Homo-oligomer: A and B are copies of this chain.
Amino acid sequence: MAARVLSFMAHPDDMEFTCGGTLIRLKQEAGCEIVVATATSGDCGSVRHRPDEIARIRHSEAETAARILDAEYYAAGAMDLLIMYDAPTLRRCTEIVRRARPNIVITLPPADYMVDHETVSRLVRTACFGAPIPNFWTEDPDPAAPIESVPHLYYVDPVELKDPFGKPVPPDFVVDITDVLAAKEKMLACHASQREWLREHHGMDEYIEAMKRTGAERGKLIDRPFGEGFRQHRGHPYPQNNIIAELLRIT
């Protein structure tokens, strides 16, 4: 049976920026079923719309992007800049992992450009650990059943490929995304509101260009035009074999 892959990030568009190409390949080449989740709906992502309005808009943009992967989309109901490692958020994240029933989970790295990203990394790490445990109730009103085992866990590259002190963070391995770059770009372009907002907040009007620059930098490590880097979580009891490399025949 084909593997199920859950991308669980902090904000809408994090997936599209970091591992969208790999997800496309996992779907196309390995027949994986993809599920997309984010902690927030991106309520701070606008200088024009109120939090509830932009959340509604970005939730819809994320659904559109996920549809390109034939993926269901879940948002965990956290709020931008306020993602907390606390019991309610952890329960909601675990409920999402249970609904996705993944063999592979991809999340943000433990050290990244904003604390929201780092917190999601820890939340997802624990959610994967807790998802198979029957006594860990998510308090969901219609809870999914526990999954069968702890999934493989991977971290994408941090933003700008560096830690908060500017030190480069080398990946364990790089996935060649050259052939799927156009599709990745198309997914990213679904986030129309975010593109505009990043332009206004960060002075970075080149949403797509930044993604390509990062991809090109990672591509260099494997002598290919574009790549996406990953590190695997190897703590106990997460599976230790590199299933993504196996599925994509990376050697």
List residues of A whose CB falls within 8 A of some B CB.
40-41, 43-47, 49-52, 54-56, 59-60, 75-77, 79-82, 84-88, 90, 110, 112-116, 122, 125-126, 129-130, 132-143, 159-160, 162-166, 201-202, 204, 231-237, 240
Contact = CB atoms under 8 A, between A and B. Distances in A.
B84 A87 contact: yes
Judged by DSSP, the binding face of A is loop
B50 A135 contact: yes
Contacts of A202: 236-237
A54 B135 contact: yes
Contacts of A81: 90, 126, 129-130, 133, 136
Contacts of A141: 40-41, 55, 59, 75-77
Contacts of A85: 84, 115
Contacts of A237: 113, 201-202, 204
Contacts of A232: 165-166
Contacts of A51: 135, 137
Contacts of A60: 142
B234 A142 contact: no
Contacts of A46: 135
Given A44-B135, A88-B88, A56 B163 contact: no
